[in-house]
Amino acid sequence: MSQQGDGAATARYKQAAAEWAVDGFVQPGMVVGLGTGSTAAFVVQRLAALRERGRLLDVVGVPTSRATEALARSLGVPVSTLDAHPVLDVTLDGADEVAPDLSLIKGGGGALLREKIVAQASRRVVIVVDAGKLSPVLGTHWPVPVEVMSFGWRSQARFLESLGARVTVRHGAGGEPFLTDQGNLVLDCAFGPIDAPEALAASLGARAGIVGHGLFLNLTTDLVVAGPKGVEHRAR
Ligand SMILES: O=C[C@H](O)[C@H](O)[C@H](O)COP(=O)(O)O
């Protein structure tokens, strides 16, 4: 299949998984965390489409990024904040890499910190992916995004290298350093397959100047994955 064909199929799987997840997990009156990225965009679009049919009109979304907030508003999906709703019924979000125990690497779109805050505030965390995201071991396919304050970022880069990472400063499409919604830098850290993600997460979490990282461990409650064989649901 051509690259273009692969991309079109992947988009179809993302959409199928997103729609299945919205239809299966979002109930009237719920407050729903809205993830970030192309798969999460299909979630927002499904909520908007259902609203147009008069369904789920009282569902409110809590976006994990300015981009998702703008998309939801543009499609007429009501949005609120985590301050107004400190406990969410469910969050629907994508991921970059999914291990068999449903641990994740996230943050390819740079929204890792808000995504993790929202996930930790949610009773249920439903991760929606195409089958290409499945991986035997985290780190096999993706670097771990690490969000750092710009103050002293080179020290963080050296620290991350000391943990075994090949570190790349993320840049935007125009060549400028990418800044998160919090105004921080993202260091993409290629560790290769990660044998002990809990230990790595503890090291990253203990370092001042690192404000977030893309290892999402013990957060996923449900995985919805779509591929050539259809849509599959796994619960943890
Ligand atoms: O920061 C972005 C998020 O973690 C996304 O959920 C992740 O990068 C997956 O993105 P996509 O759905 O576009 O593949």
**Predicted confidence (pLDDT) per residue in 165-175, tens digit:** 999 999 999 99
Whole-number pLDDT of residue 141: 97
Could you tell me if 16 and 129 lie in one domain?
Answer: yes
Q: Quick one: pLDDT band at residue 3, thresholds 50, 70, 90?
A: very low
> Is 115 among the catalytic positions?
yes
* Rounded average pLDDT over 2-6: 46
Q: How far is the CA of 109 from the centre of ligand 1 (A)?
A: 5
Q: What is the ipTM of this complex?
A: 0.98
Asked whether the predicted pLDDT for residue 29 surpasses 90, the reply is yes
Atom index in ligand 1 nearest the CA of residue 38 equals 13
Could you tell me if 164 and 100 lie in one domain?
Answer: no
**C-alpha closest to that of 102 among 13, 220, 201:** 220
Could you tell me if 94 and 46 lie in one domain?
Answer: yes
Whole-number pLDDT of residue 4: 44
For residue 159, tell me if it sits in a domain. Answer: yes
Is 96 annotated to bind a ligand? Reply is yes
Q: Residue type at 24?
A: G
Q: Per the residue annotation, which of 69, 97, 115, 147 is the catalytic one?
A: 115
- Match 């020290």 to its residue by tokens: 155
Q: How far is the CA of 212 from the centre of ligand 1 (A)?
A: 15
Contact 179, 80 (CB under 8 A): no
Could you tell me if 127 and 169 lie in one domain?
Answer: no
Whole-number pLDDT of residue 140: 98
Number of H helices and E strands in the chain, helices first, is: 6, 13
Asked whether the predicted pLDDT for residue 16 surpasses 90, the reply is yes
What CATH number is attached to the domain comprising 203?
Answer: 3.30.70.260
Q: Which two tokens stand for residue 111?
A: 């929204």
Which of 3-7, 35-39, 80-84, 133-137 is predicted with the least confidence, judged by mean pLDDT?
3-7
For residue 139, tell me if it sits in a domain. Answer: no
Cα–Cα distance for residue pair 108/39, rounded to 1 Å: 12
For residue 233, tell me if it sits in a domain. Answer: no
DSSP structure class, residue 178: P
For residue 164, tell me if it sits in a domain. Answer: yes
Any idea what the Cα angle at residue 80 is, between residues 145 and 23, rounded to 5°?
80
Whole-number pLDDT of residue 5: 47
Tell me which residue range forms the domain holding 114.
Answer: 3-133+217-228
**C-alpha closest to that of 34 among 66, 5, 74:** 66
Rg, C-alpha atoms of the chain: 17
What CATH number is attached to the domain comprising 10?
Answer: 3.40.50.1360
38 close to ligand 1 (CB < 6 Angstrom): yes
Could you tell me if 123 and 187 lie in one domain?
Answer: no
Could you tell me if 112 and 28 lie in one domain?
Answer: yes
Q: How far is the CA of 76 from the centre of ligand 1 (A)?
A: 22
59 close to ligand 1 (CB < 6 Angstrom): no
For residue 109, tell me if it sits in a domain. Answer: yes
Cα–Cα distance for residue pair 135/171, rounded to 1 Å: 26
Could you tell me if 151 and 204 lie in one domain?
Answer: yes
118 close to ligand 1 (CB < 6 Angstrom): no
Could you tell me if 20 and 101 lie in one domain?
Answer: yes
Whole-number pLDDT of residue 2: 37
pLDDT digit string, tens, across residues 140-165 = 999 999 999 999 999 999 999 999 99
Could you tell me if 194 and 111 lie in one domain?
Answer: no
Could you tell me if 208 and 221 lie in one domain?
Answer: no
Is 196 annotated to bind a ligand? Reply is no
Name residues whose C-beta falls within 8 Å of residue 124's C-beta, 6 or more positions apart in sequence: 25, 89, 90, 91, 221, 222
Q: How far is the CA of 37 from the centre of ligand 1 (A)?
A: 4
97 close to ligand 1 (CB < 6 Angstrom): no
For residue 207, tell me if it sits in a domain. Answer: yes
Asked whether the predicted pLDDT for residue 36 surpasses 60, the reply is yes
Asked whether the predicted pLDDT for residue 42 surpasses 50, the reply is yes
Whole-number pLDDT of residue 98: 98
Could you tell me if 12 and 126 lie in one domain?
Answer: yes
For residue 35, tell me if it sits in a domain. Answer: yes
For residue 222, tell me if it sits in a domain. Answer: yes
Could you tell me if 128 and 153 lie in one domain?
Answer: no
Number of domains in the chain: 2
Contact 143, 191 (CB under 8 A): yes
35 close to ligand 1 (CB < 6 Angstrom): yes
Asked whether the predicted pLDDT for residue 6 surpasses 80, the reply is no
Cα–Cα distance for residue pair 229/106, rounded to 1 Å: 25
